[in-house]
Amino acid sequence: MKSAVIVFPGSNCDRDMAVAIEQASGSAPVMLWHRETEIPAGTDLIAVPGGFSYGDYLRSGAMASRSPVMAAVKAAAERGVAVLGVCNGFQVLTETGLLPGALMRNAGIHFVCRDVALTVGNNQSLFTSRYEADERIVIPVAHHDGNYFADEATLDRLEGEGRVAFRYAENVNGSARDIAGILNEGGNVLGMMPHPERASEPAHGNLDGARLFQGLVEGLMATA
Amino acid sequence: MKARVFVTLKGGVLDPQGKAIHHALEGLGFSGVNDVRAGKLIELDLADGTSDADIDAMCSKLLANTVIENYRIEKIA
């Protein structure tokens, strides 16, 4: 399986993401700098990692979403390549328009950095096949702008189409309908604020995130 | 020529920053503040003859996220 991790100036979870993908897939991802204009041919998975790309200038993810590499990521996603955006990566995907809505300042204003209980909203997706339906899992969050917003019609559509992948069991940031992670219409793009790569090896004390990568790799191998 | 772009949150979109400012004003003893909404002011120094359409495109493509924000352009000669 071929994968790539995008690196922006200010990304800081890119290496953790690469380690988690390598553990699940057995091969190390290519690290792609923001100035790249092409995704290597045959790439099955692109990860947009967490961090503070471009210092969160203007809006979180705003500058990164207009960088050269994101045009290539967008084109790849539209061809059906799997794209996983975590934290700042989720913000970048909404700013790019690959996912609907926006991530706003946490309702409580504080930066939230802690383990959070989630419920799996859809375990039939490419990303969530290793979870049970409605399973309660724990994944850490670390963000200032994680308050998911979309208009009511969009929220209804997301829920109606089973595109809410994860919900907060305890809403830590004010997100509409407790949304922690959503899928695009094609089901090949997932954006989520919690960090599965930080719960993916025994030393983390929690393996709930590892199953996301395992299920994803399994799904991609099956279709390859 | 110069232009000012005012970016504000759409009505109905929660503004935690504005709320915090509101609380801080009350803490300083200012009563009678009904609501506070915080936004951004972006000043553009533009080549003469930059079209209105171009300035508008700058706003809709980057300066504002129209999912959550409105923008208003004020041109200064």
State pLDDT tens for residues A27-64.
999 999 999 999 999 999 999 999 999 999 999 999 99
Q: What is d(CA A197, CA B10) in angstroms, rounded to the nearest whole number?
A: 34
Tokens matching residue A86:
């975590």
Q: Using the beta-carbon criterion (under 8 Å), do A109 and B67 form an inter-chain contact?
A: no
**What is the extent of the structural domain holding A79?**
3-223
Burial class (CB in 10 A: 0-12, 13-18, 19+), B17: middle
| Each residue's pLDDT tens digit, A90-127 | 999 999 999 999 999 999 989 999 999 999 999 999 99
Sheet with B40-45: list strands edge to edge: B40-45, B2-9, B69-76
Q: Give chain A positions within 8 Å (CB) of B20.
A: 109
Looking up residue A117, the CATH number of its domain turns out to be: 3.40.50.880
Tokens matching residue B53:
């359409």
Q: Is A197 assigned a catalytic role? A: yes
Of A62, A143, A60, A86, which Cα lies nearest the Cα of A109? A143
Q: What is d(CA A57, CA A117) in angstroms, rounded to the nearest whole number?
A: 30
Q: What is d(CA A130, CA A88) in angstroms, rounded to the nearest whole number?
A: 24
Q: How many domains does chain A have?
A: 1
| Each residue's pLDDT tens digit, A187-223 | 999 999 999 999 999 999 999 999 999 999 999 998 7
**φ/ψ of residue B73, rounded to 5:** -105, 135
Q: Give chain B positions within 8 Å (CB) of A59.
A: 65
Tokens matching residue A218:
């399994």
Tokens matching residue A183:
């899928």
- Tell the residue number behind the tokens 């595109």, with chain if given: A163
Q: Is A87 assigned a catalytic role? A: yes
Of the options 1.10.10.10, 3.30.1280.10, 3.30.360.10, 3.30.210.10, the CATH number for the domain spanning B2-76: 3.30.1280.10
Q: B77 CB near a chain A CB, below 8 Å?
A: no
Which residue of A58, A150, A174 is in closest CB contact with B14? A174
Identify the pLDDT of residue A224: 65
Q: What is d(CA A121, CA A132) in angstroms, rounded to the nearest whole number?
A: 9
Q: How many CB pairs under 8 A join A and B?
A: 37
